[in-house]
Structure 1
Amino acid sequence: MNRRHTRSLATATLTVLATAGIALAACTGSTEKPEAAAPSASSSPVPVLLPGRPGESAAVSDSDQVKALDGSVYNSIDVAYVQMMIAHHEQALVMADLAPGRASNTGLKRLADRMSAAQQLEIDYFKSWLKDRNQPESDPSHDHSSMPGGQSDAEIAALTAASGAEFDRMFVAMMTEHHQGAQQMAGDLLRSGSDERLSELANESAVEQVSEIRRMAELGIR
């Protein structure tokens, strides 16, 4: 799947992302895009307007695109997305791993187990992606507490203390918000990232999270 096809697919299937802001830049506490740490970047990134096909909006990318050892191209938006999604997914694992001992809804327990397995696989891929590009797993300049869909320490503590029907209700509400935040960040990547495989993965992951939100709603937990 080429990059243009990936973005077209995202437009068709992820309409929830259409009005999302540039969350990756916002989470750094600045409206500027984070600069890549690649050795070949000799100057600050310069925004580049990429015209879309007829009927499609133009996209903005960075001029600091660099190549990985496998020949793939990536930029600072790709790096920021991967770093932030590691932290985002790790919080989802904390929430999902509470379900076996605290949830009362059997369907919710099964769904949480699938979420945990899928997001751990993505975390492993993200860490490998950064390692292959000599990038750190986290960036101190990123304010993870303001990530879209991120839950506060107090909210995680409250979920940890809950059980039964109360846990079920809290989990569905919190994980739905968490998934929606991940979809927003995926939309940001699809607009401005450079790595084609990463864009495909972000699209696939966001589509699956739309499905998981629907499945949680279908459980009828009130």
Structure 2
Amino acid sequence: MTNRRARILAIVTLALVLPLVAVVVIRAGGDSTTGTARPVSTPVATTPAASPIPTDLTVIVPGRPGESAATRPATEVRGAGATPHNALDVEFVRMMIPHHAQALEMARLAPDRAADPDIRALADRIQASQGPEMGLMRGWLQTRGLPAEVQGHDHGAMRGMQSPEAMRQLAAARGADFDRLFVRMMTEHHRGAIELATNLLTVGADLTLNEFANSVATEQTVEIDRLREVLGS
């Protein structure tokens, strides 16, 4: 499951964030005085250019996470561009970012407060997955020139979001009391994220974002089962 999620996240990251990555262009002719290749720091345009692409350019294309970059002729490279989306895709991303942020806030409390090592391990897992996912979603909005925040939206009303008082109680708890609160609150929180993600699957237009939402729903369902196992509930 972890390997499958990593592959999906790598594919989604490449599709959503590649338009933000500047590529390095190298002119094949080089410097006439030194005989060495001369770098040109101009990124490849993501829209069709008025003039043809010079045939003497090569482009270093970033690889997926864990993979090496590849060198290709400039004529073979095109920007990924922004995939078609609708208002419900945008709403999902804008809601999921603060939703993930609160999960990370809870997870960061565990190392100093949890008694059960399995709770600490789950908290580490949440940080390792949801931190990069927040960056991915911010990149999705940035690629489309959309702000992450909108006026008048009450994030606290989303399903699964914990109240400020509940967050204070969790921060004040220690040992077994923290473990019980953490399991209860994170389970509720994950159920809210699953609802947001599965709802998008029926109304979203961005197919790559739908794949990401499906990955979120699948992974957080698995984590709910693990949270239950920790306390034997």
TM-score bracket for this pair, using the shorter chain length: 0.5 to 0.7
> Which 4+ runs in 1 deviate beyond 3 A?
none
| Corresponding residue of 1:128 | 139
Q: Which has the larger radius of gyration?
A: 2
| Corresponding residue of 1:91 | 102
Check conservation: 1:186, 1:206, Cα contact below 8 A.
yes
Aligned residues: 155
Q: Distance in 1 between matches of 2:105 and 2:180?
A: 16
User: CA offset at residue 156 of structure 1?
Assistant: 0.3
Residue 153 (str. 1) matches residue 203 (str. 2): no
| Corresponding residue of 2:189 | 178
Q: Distance in 2 between matches of 1:221 and 1:152?
A: 26
Would the alpha carbon gap of residues 138 and 99 (structure 1) be closer, same or farther in structure 2, given more than 3 Å must change?
same
Check conservation: 2:180, 2:231, Cα contact below 8 A.
no
Give the 5 Å matches for 1:28-47: none
Check conservation: 1:168, 1:221, Cα contact below 8 A.
no
Deviations, residues 199-220 of structure 1 (Å, cap 9, x unaligned): 0001011100000000111112
| Corresponding residue of 2:126 | 115
Give 5+ residue unaligned stretches, structure 2. Answer: 1-78
Q: Which has the higher contact order (CA 8 A, sep 6+)?
A: 1
Q: Which amino acid aligns with 1:219?
A: V
| Corresponding residue of 1:192 | 203
Q: Distance in 2 between matches of 1:71 and 1:89?
A: 23
| Corresponding residue of 2:180 | 169
Q: Distance in 2 between matches of 1:93 and 1:107?
A: 17
TM-score (norm 1): 0.68
Would the alpha carbon gap of residues 221 and 94 (structure 1) be closer, same or farther in structure 2, given more than 3 Å must change?
farther
| Corresponding residue of 1:42 | none
Q: Provide the alpha-carbon RMSD of the alignment.
A: 1.4
Give 5+ residue unaligned stretches, structure 1. Answer: 1-67
